Amino acid sequence: MDLDAVARAGRELVEECPRTYKQLGEKLVKQWPAYEPSVLAEVIRSLVPLVQVPPRGIWGSSGPAAHTTAEHWLTQPLSDTPSMDELVIRYFDAFGPATIADLQHWSGIRRLREVVERNSHRLERHLDANGQERFDTAGRLYPDAETPAPARFLGEFDNVLLSHANRTHVMSEEDRQRVFTVNGIIRQTILVDGFVHGLWKLHQTGNDAFVEILPFRALTPADLRNLENEGETLIAFTAAGKTSLGVRFLKPE
């Protein structure tokens, strides 16, 4: 198989109009009948930078997962020489203070200390409570350590849970095993004072909709009130048009 030729043909097809992997394979197999359609589609998935297009991923709507090229979607070419320096700075800007191990875990790229060091003029170094070196973008302002963090609901695969090698800054190892499933799903979680303390689900049936909260442990009355208030805001947004809305708590596991 000429992989470059398959990639070029696939690129033309998805730029002609967005296509699902199934549709892509069915088109490509006409030119390469000796191969399975799924194999041909996988070549495009591996060699061509793709973007999943709407209506997939739109709130309250869905559709088949169709793709076009990143260049076609952005209406501009991708850089032939992407900047590793900017990648590093953008990571710390989003997720700092973080360690080099965190950066490498997020990016999947190793040996990044040299890149961090040559950008030291754009970064600040910190030592955490364990004496571990962390980096952040220069000039960042931090709230006082006693500032309470509001109750929050995180969606599946949220970056807060995925962007560090050591996640104990946001959840315990015991809780991580409840959130990260064996089949690769990262569940929806609740944050109490900045830490994972349970799971949540949205239920909709007919004209009824409610947020179901499963705490991992007993919470204070104030925490429950804060979660309920945040849940009411969430359900009002996610289930607009429903006549019966609510927040329900399950007993802690």
Alpha-carbon distance values, 44 to 6, 34, 50, 81 (Å) = 7, 17, 8, 21
Mean pLDDT of the 69-88 span = 94
Rounded to two decimals, the pTM is 0.80
The pLDDT tens digits for 171-226 are 999 999 999 998 889 999 999 999 999 999 999 888 899 999 999 999 999 999 99
Mean pLDDT, the chain, integer: 93
What is the pLDDT at residue 56? Answer: 76
What is the pLDDT at residue 183? Answer: 87
Q: Which residues pair with 203 in a beta bridge?
A: 210
What is the pLDDT at residue 159? Answer: 93
What is the pLDDT at residue 1? Answer: 84
Tell me the C-alpha distance between 112 and 240, whole Å: 46
The pLDDT tens digits for 129-139 are 889 999 999 99
Tell me the C-alpha distance between 176 and 214, whole Å: 15
Q: Of 115, 94, 93, which Cα lies nearest the Cα of 104? A: 115
pLDDT at 253 over 80: no
Query: Six-digit token pair at 129?
Result: 């409570």
Alpha-carbon distance values, 43 to 6, 36, 67, 108 (Å) = 7, 11, 14, 21
The pLDDT tens digits for 6-21 are 999 999 999 999 999 9
E strand map for the chain: 50-52, 67-69, 123-127, 133-137, 152-154, 189-192, 195-205, 208-215, 244-249
Region class of 57: left (phi > 0), else alpha (psi between -120 and 50), else beta: left
CA-based max dimension of the chain: 65
Q: Of 88, 119, 89, 107, which Cα lies nearest the Cα of 164? A: 107
Torsion (CA) 66, 72, 73, 74 in degrees, nearest 10: 160
